[in-house]
């Protein structure tokens, strides 16, 4: 009888604690992704780069080269009258434990104002944590395509479901 009680108690805890853990991790992912989006909109490179995976920073040539590339892109956007209007972060998908990392995929919608109208791009972010979910790094699959990511991040789980990229939506000025 005591073994039945232990099994019942263990099963009950498992079914209540695992979903709670998953919800808490997904909340942390979403909050940190929103923090990253706010940094991008503010053009705060230092805050934004804190959310970039170290392997991505190394792949781009290091932090200084990355900053230079982002500054150049920002200047070009300004020159052509393009600015980020809003970035919406969706709810993270399932969190996968793979090779001592937690990984997930998050939908993101970025709206930019241009001289000719509004451009909306739907993409996915890959979220990776190497410290059991405390700190998350994000990789935009619009910038880094899935096939090249396997070379940059060989520890990506094959179980990550990255949806195909959708074509951008353009709304001309009225």
Question: How far is the C-alpha of 144 from the C-alpha of 56, rounded, in Å?
Answer: 9
What single string gives the DSSP state of each residue in 93-128?
---EEETTEEEEEEEEEEEEE-SSEEEEEEEEEEEE
HSE, side-chain direction, 13 A CA sphere, residue 107 = 10
Residue by residue, pLDDT tens for the chain (174 residues) are 555 555 544 444 444 444 444 559 999 999 999 999 999 998 888 899 999 999 999 998 988 888 888 888 888 888 888 888 999 999 999 999 999 999 999 999 999 999 999 999 999 999 999 999 999 999 999 888 767 788 899 999 999 999 998 999 999 987
What range defines the domain where residue 81 resides? Answer: 2-172
Closest CA to 43 of 64, 79, 72, 63: 72
CB 25 within 8 A of CB 97: no
Phi-psi region of 68 (alpha: psi -120 to 50; beta: other; left: phi over 0): alpha
Q: For residue 29, give the CATH number of its domain.
A: 3.10.450.100
Question: How far is the C-alpha of 55 from the C-alpha of 139, rounded, in Å?
Answer: 10
**pLDDT for the residue 13:** 43
**pLDDT for the residue 140:** 92
Closest CA to 166 of 112, 107, 117: 107
DSSP 8-state secondary structure symbol assigned to residue 133:
T
Give the count of domains, the chain: 1
**pLDDT for the residue 9:** 46
């Amino acid at each position: 009888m005591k073994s039945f009680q232990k099994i019942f108690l263990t099963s009950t805890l498992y079914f209540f604690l695992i979903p709670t853990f998953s919800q808490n991790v997904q909340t942390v992912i979403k909050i940190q992704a929103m923090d990253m989006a706010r940094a991008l909109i503010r053009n705060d490179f230092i805050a934004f780069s804190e959310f970039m995976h170290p392997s991505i920073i190394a792949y781009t040539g290091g932090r200084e080269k990355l900053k230079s590339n982002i500054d150049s892109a920002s200047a070009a956007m300004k020159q052509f009258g393009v600015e980020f209007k809003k970035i919406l972060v969706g709810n993270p998908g399932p969190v996968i434990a793979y090779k001592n990392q937690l990984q997930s995929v998050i939908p993101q919608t970025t709206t930019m104002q241009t001289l000719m109208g509004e451009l909306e791009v739907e993409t996915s972010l890959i979220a990776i944590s190497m410290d059991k979910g405390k700190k998350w790094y994000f990789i935009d699959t619009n910038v880094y395509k899935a096939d090249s990511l396997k070379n940059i991040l060989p520890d990506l789980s094959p179980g990550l479901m990255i949806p195909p990229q959708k074509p951008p939506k353009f709304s001309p000025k009225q």
